[in-house]
Structure 1
C-alpha cells in the first residue's frame, strides 16, 4: 500500500513544497513510483485497466499550487492507509480536465464539479460519484473602500464572476442576471488576474467559490493589500437564486470566519465530489467509499470542509449517479438509494 504524488514541472515542485508537512504524509506511504509521471513530465501508466488488475488507482485533482490538489493528497493518503489500496495523486487543470480524462480512461478517480463535468462532456456522460468532497460556497468580495453594501449595489459595477470559462463563473452570472436582475459590468479573467485587478482598483470586487465555509487564502491575501467586505444574500435573493439554479442551496459563513459583524448568507452546493467512470472497478470503488466514511474524523482533522458530512448527504444531495460500488456501501449502511441515482442498464 502506498500513495504517491506527481507533478509536471520543477516550478510546480517548488510550489508544492509550501505544503511540505502534508506531502510528507503522502511520501511516507511510498513516494513517487517510477511507473508514474515524475518531475520530468514522463507519462503515468495508470488508468482503469491498471486499477482493475490491482495496480495503482490514478486520481486527478487540481493544480499543484491549489487547495484541491492538497486536499487530494491528504485525503487519499488516509484512504490508502485504511483500505490497503495503492493510490496515485496527480495534478491537473481541475474538474473539467479530470472529467475528460476519466471519460477517456486516463484517470480512474478524480475531483469533479458536477456542473463542470456537464460542461466538459455534456449532460449525457458516464461519470459517477463515490462520495461528496465538500460543500462549495460562493464568497462575494468587494472593497471596503467602495460604496457597495449589498448585492443590489453591484448593478453597473465592474466585478469578476469567477475564473473565465469556469463553472463557478457561469453560476454567478446566471444568478445575478436571471435571478437578481442585475446588470453587472463583468470583468472576465483568471482568478489570479482578477485578484490583481482588485488590488489595483481596476474592479470593485470578485466572486470566489471555495471549499466549505472556512476562510479562503485568496481573500485573506487581497485583504492585506485592499481590505475586503463580504456581501450577504437576503432570504428573498436566496430564493431567487435557487429558483434559477435548483442545484444551489443556502450556506452560512459564520461571522467568526472573517470577523464580520454578522453571519454571511451565501449560495453553495454539494457539487464537488470524488467521482469515477462507471467502468471503474466496483470492489475498489466500494473500498474507497467505505474507507473515506470510516476515516472521516481523521480526514476532518486535515480537511475541515468535510466536517459534519454524512453518508446520507451523499445520497440525498447527489447531482450525478452513484457508482455501483458506492451504492453497495450506502445500502449496507441501511440507506435507501433511489433508483434514479443508480447507474441504469
Structure 2
C-alpha cells in the first residue's frame, strides 16, 4: 500500500510539473493581431513578411497573425475597441485626427484613441509618375500634352489629381478612363502616355511596366516637394530598369502603432526584433531598405514606453514630443 501510495504521489507530482511546463510554454508564446491592408496588396504582403521576421527573430515566442483590413481609417477605429496586444498600420496624420476627434473620427470620437502608441515605421507610400519613353528622369512639365491614367479611389489617385491642380497641369493633360490595374499593358500598347501610382518602392506595377517598355519617372525639385506639403523621398538609381538616376518625389509615411494595452516588455521585444531583422527583410524584399529611424520624425502621438526603451538603449535619437 505504501508503494502504491508513493507511486500515486510521484505521479501526481509529475503531472503537476508537466502542467506547469506546458502552462509556462503557453505563456511564453505571445500572439498579436497585426491589422494590415487589403489582401493582395503590397502592404498585406509586408505584413506577412514582418510576421515571418518577428517569428524568426524571437524563436517563435511572438506570433503576429496578419488580418486583412479595408483601410487605415478602419485600422485606427479598431484601436479603440481591440483588447490586448494589437498592432495596426496607418499614416500618422490619421492618429492625430482620431485623437483630436476630427475628420473621419468626428462622428465616432473615443477617449481610447488617446491610448494609441507608435512602435516603428514601415515602408512609405511613395508617389510615382511613370511616363513612356527613353528619357529616364523627367520634370513635372513633361506630363503636358500626355494622356495620364490616375486610377480611382486610391491615395495615389487623389494625390496625383491634387498635384495636377497644384502645378497647373490639370488642363494640360488628358485623364484616361481606365483601371490602374491595367496600367502596364495600357502604357505598353500606347493607350496611355503616363500613369500615376503610389506604393513602396520598388512598386510591383512599375517593375512590371519597366520590364516590358521604356519608361521614365518624374523627379521633382525641392521647391516642388515643399509645395505639396508631403515628405521628400528619393527612389535610388537602378530601382527600376532603365532609370539609372536618383528620382526625387514625395511620400506618405506609414507607421506601425499599438495601444497602451500592450505591455512594455512586448512592445520592447517587437520593436527590437523589427530593427534587428530589418537587414534580412531588406534582402528578400527591397522596399524595407527605405525604412530608417529618421522616419520617427513623422510620427504623430507618442511612442509606446517599451519602444522608447529600445530606442534609448540603441542610441537612436527620438524627437522630444514622442516621449
| TM-score (normalizing by structure 1) | 0.67
**Please, which of 264, 288, 294 is the counterpart of residue 306 of structure 1?**
288
Q: Show CA shifts across 1:216-274 (max 9, x none).
A: 3212434566x242232243xx31222331x31141331463223x4142313360222
Partner of 2:13: none
Match of 1:337 in 2: 318
Q: Residues 296 and 259 (structure 1 numbering): CA distance in 2 closer, same or farther, change over 3 Å?
A: same
Residue of structure 2 aligned with 1:211, choices 175, 200, 217: 200
Larger Rg: 2
Structure 1 residues 160 and 115: alpha-carbon distance in aligned structure 2, compared to 1, 3 A threshold: farther
Residue 330 of structure 1: CA displacement?
A: 1.2
Cα distance change on mapping 1:253 and 1:139 into 2, 3 Å = farther
Residue ranges of structure 2 left out of the alignment (5+ in a row)? 1-26, 98-102
For CA contacts below 8 A with separation 6 or more, give which structure has more relative contact order: 2
User: How far has the Cα of 1:175 moved from its partner?
Assistant: 3.1
> Does 2:64 correspond to 1:76?
no
Pick aligned residue for 2:91 from 113, 120, 123:
113
Residue 57 (str. 1) matches residue 62 (str. 2): no
Report the alpha carbon displacement of residue 158 of structure 1 after superposing the two structures with TM. 3.7
Equivalent position of 2:251 in the other structure: 269
C-alpha contact (below 8 Å) 2:57/2:273 kept by paired residues: yes
CA distance in 2, matches of 1:164, 1:324: 39
CA shift in 2, pair 1:120/1:271, >3 Å: farther
Partner of 1:131: 120
The worse-fitting range, judged by mean Cα deviation, of 267-276 and 288-297 is 267-276
Match of 1:31 in 2: none
Instruction: Give CA-to-partner distance per residue, 1:142-176, whole Å, 9 cap, x none.
Output: 23399x96421324644233x53333333333333
Q: Which residue of 2 aligns with 1:243?
A: 227
Worse-matched range after superposition: 296-305 or 200-209: 200-209
Structure 2 distance, partners of 1:189, 1:323, is 43
Distance 2:165 2:241 in 1: 27
TM-score (norm 2): 0.71
The aligned length equals 279
Change (3 A) 1:164 1:89: same
Q: Residues 302 and 243 of structure 1: is their aligned pair in 2 closer, same or farther, counting only changes over 3 Å?
A: same
1:209 to partner: Cα distance: 1.7
Question: How many angstroms does 1:57 deviate by?
Answer: 0.7
CA distance in 1, matches of 2:28, 2:289: 33
